[in-house]
Amino acid sequence: MIRRTALVLATVSLIITIASSCTDNSRTDPKAAVIAMFGAMEKNDRATLAHLLDLAELMGNINEDYALKNDKPRVFTSPEQILDDLTGDGVTKKRWFSLQRIVNKAEIDGETATVEVTFIDKDQSKGYRTKFGLHKVHDRWKIYSFKTIVGTN
């Protein structure tokens, strides 16, 4: 019984160590935060998304729709609406996951950063270059913008 308890404690300790190293990486590397966001979207992990996104700032985006398909911007009036959009059958999740995603370089300028993400629609031979905007909030990178730079053919 003591051996079993020790084994369980060792396993839990290992899991916590691995989880901490993954979390710390997204804390110090804006590119890792973007990659973690896509992982959370894939798993419909709303808690992790809420941790990685600056939802208040994203609600302020009223000029451009970041789903890459809609011409008219959607206005989100609550954090829950954004989380719904990025999980399950949300418009943005379905659109982004129908495209090939390439997370490119990060550029850090003090407490802000951008991470270039390219979305490729192979069927239409079209690509979308975006720069996700991040800023530090309590020493953690948070995504506050999904700005589309240009659609390319």
Confidence at 65, pLDDT banded by 50, 70, 90? low
Q: How many domains does the chain have?
A: 1
SS (H, E, C) the chain: CHHHHHHHHHHHHHHHHHHHHHHHHHHHCHHHHHHHHHHHHHCCCHHHHHHHECHHHHHCCCCCCCCCCCCCCCCCCCHHHHHHHHCCCCHHHHHHHCCEEEEEEEEEECCEEEEEEEEEECCCCEEEEEEEEEEEECCEEEEEEEEEEEEEC
Phi-psi region of 142 (alpha: psi -120 to 50; beta: other; left: phi over 0): beta
Lowest mean pLDDT among 18-22, 62-66, 135-139, 145-149: 18-22
**What's the domain range around 128?**
2-152
Q: What is the pLDDT of residue 10?
A: 43
Burial class, 84, CB count within 10 angstroms (exposed 0-12 / middle 13-18 / buried 19+): middle
Residue 90 sits in a domain of what CATH number? 3.10.450.50
* Token pair in block for residue 64: 């451009």
What is the tens place of the pLDDT at every residue in 31-51?
A: 999 999 999 999 999 999 999
What is the tens place of the pLDDT at every residue in 108-150?
A: 999 999 999 999 999 989 999 999 999 999 999 999 998 877 5
What's the whole-model pTM score? 0.77
